């Protein structure tokens, strides 16, 4: 057995800079995951369900505009820069109460409240920012039914305890879109589809 004795040579210094590089790569990866998560329907559903519970869980609803008139609520939202589809006056049995802007985890959303004398409590959120829904999405989050859909160029989230309330509200948005068709100048018919003479088929 032999032992070599080395003198005068120092071992190489440990490389520095590995930890900052690993931290930077980790931060970039975390940022990419956050951006990817932001548009996932399940994440958006969790955000709006959380806000629905927070707003309706308070002693007094935190609305900034109080009205059961959909035109007044729509005008209030649009005066603040939010393009708004025609709002239904009722979400199944619940009537429109008012609206406000709510901060979600990664965005701010216009939030219309439906409640009052009706049975269920329903929220309609007009979402800003990315949401990856094409033909809609439906599921549950935090024990609530959530439906994401596109209406009048906007992404909406409808939240409620009752699946029937959520479905009825979603149907109201698709039917109000049909009622909003422009009329021809000088005609009482919608796009000329109704015979002005009143004759029926």
Q: Does residue 166 surpass a pLDDT of 70?
A: yes
- Provide the mean pLDDT of the chain: 81
Domains in the chain (CATH in brackets) are 40-179 (3.40.1000)
Q: Using pLDDT thresholds of 50, 70 and 90, give the confidence band for residue 126.
A: very high
**Banded pLDDT at 196 (limits 50, 70, 90):** very low
* pLDDT level of residue 159 (50, 70, 90 thresholds): very high
Mean pLDDT calculated for residue range 121-125: 95
DSSP secondary structure, the chain, as one string: -------SPPPPPPPPSHHHHHHHHHHHHHHHHHHHHHT-HHHHHHHHHHHHHHHHTSSS---SEE-S-HHHHHHHHHTTT---PPPPSEETTEEEEEEEEEE-SS-EEEEEEEETTSSS-EEEEEE-S----SS-EEEEETTEEEEEEEETTEEEEEEES-HHHHHHHHHHHHHHHHHTPPBPTT-SSBTT-S-TT----
pLDDT at residue 188 above 50?
Answer: no
Least confident segment among 100-104, 157-161, 190-194: 190-194
The confidence band for 59, taking pLDDT boundaries of 50, 70 and 90, is: confident
pTM above 0.75, yes or no: no
| Angstrom distances, CA of residue 25 to CA of 15, 18, 37 | 18, 11, 18
Asked if 112 contacts 123 with a C-beta cutoff of 8 angstroms, the reply is yes
Binning pLDDT at 50, 70 and 90, where does residue 182 land? low
- Each residue of 9-36: pLDDT tens digit? 666 666 666 777 788 888 777 777 766 6
Q: Model confidence at 191, in pLDDT bands (50, 70, 90)?
A: very low
Tens digits of residue pLDDT in 80-122: 999 999 999 998 888 999 999 999 988 999 999 999 765 689 9
């Amino acid at each position: 057995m032999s032992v070599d004795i080395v003198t005068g040579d120092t071992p190489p210094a440990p490389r520095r800079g590995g930890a900052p590089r690993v931290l930077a790569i980790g931060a970039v990866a975390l940022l990419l995951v956050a951006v990817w998560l932001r548009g996932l329907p399940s994440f958006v559903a969790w955000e709006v369900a959380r806000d629905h519970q927070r707003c309706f869980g308070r002693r007094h609803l935190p609305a900034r505009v109080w009205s059961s008139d959909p035109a007044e609520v729509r005008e209030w939202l649009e005066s603040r820069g939010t393009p708004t589809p025609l709002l239904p006056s009722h979400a199944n049995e619940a009537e429109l109460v008012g609206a406000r802007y709510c901060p979600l985890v990664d965005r701010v959303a216009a939030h219309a409240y439906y409640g009052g004398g009706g049975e269920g409590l329903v929220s309609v959120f007009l979402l800003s920012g990315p949401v990856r829904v094409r033909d809609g999405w439906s599921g549950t989050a935090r024990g609530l039914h959530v439906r994401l859909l596109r209406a009048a160029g906007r992404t909406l989230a409808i939240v409620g305890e009752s699946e029937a309330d959520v479905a009825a509200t979603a149907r109201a948005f698709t039917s109000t879109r049909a009622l909003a068709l422009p009329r021809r100048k000088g005609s009482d018919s919608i796009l000329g589809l109704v015979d002005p003479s009143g004759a029926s088929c």
